[in-house]
Amino acid sequence: MKGRFIVLEGIDGCGKTTQLEHLVRWLPSAGLMPDAAELLRTREPGGTSLGLSVRELLLHTAADDAPAPVAELLLYAADRSQHVETLIRPALERGDWVISDRFSGSTQAYQGYGRGLNRSLIEQLEQIATGGLQPDLTLLLELPLEESLRRRRGEAADRIEAEGQAFLGRVGEGFADMAKQRGWFRVDAAGAPEDVSQRLEQVLLEQLGE
């Protein structure tokens, strides 16, 4: 692949969206990207128009119509397959850079560690949905559970956010395990947004600079 694929992961409310907005402004002038390359910002679920419909099914269905755990897993995989095949892979082949709010690590963390679905089944499904595509760099924003809950206080919870603290605790452990297994970069997401941005910039410069 000619382009670069960067992913931000972490528990709900860890600050991914805030940091993505910063990185989308900072990256094009950071001296890392070739002049001709564009930067595409995307997310999962919902990075494509089909994916937006899947996102609605996943996060905003009424409680009595919510997907069962395996159906939920397959919907995330369908969203990812469409995302990779129609948006991410073509962009990387053109030489563009892609930065995504979540990718396949989220499925292992939420559906594997969180819901307790079979993790090797999830790995097989990941292989099918991504066609083997892996991020060049995954940045895990780490934030204590209490701080993530405090930050989101007052905001309406979607179906997954409403799962509660024990669920989110398992998800956080899953992310920490995956960071070790998959060589992700762990970034302290506590403190002022500008401080977190600086930590992310430093990792990007170290890892993607010539």
Rounded CA separation 88/204 (Å): 19
Judged by CB under 6 A, does residue 172 bind ligand Z5A?
A: no
**For residue 37, what is the DSSP state?**
-
Which of 3, 4, 13, 138 is in the footprint of ligand Z5A by CB under 6 A? 13
Angle at 94 between CA 89 and CA 100, to 5 degrees: 45
Judged by CB under 6 A, does residue 14 bind ligand Z5A?
A: yes
Site for ligand Z5A in 115-144 (CB under 6 A): none
Judged by CB under 6 A, does residue 174 bind ligand Z5A?
A: no
Judged by CB under 6 A, the number of residues near ligand Z5A is: 26
Judged by CB under 6 A, does residue 107 bind ligand Z5A?
A: yes
Which of 193, 198, 202, 205 is in the footprint of ligand Z5A by CB under 6 A? 193
List C-alpha distances in Å: 118 to 73, 111, 122, 161, 163: 11, 9, 6, 21, 19
String of DSSP letters for 112-134: IIIT---HHHHHHHHHHHHTT--
Binding positions for ligand Z5A, rule: CB under 6 A:
10, 12-18, 43-45, 59, 76, 102, 106-107, 110-111, 151-152, 158, 160-161, 192-193, 196
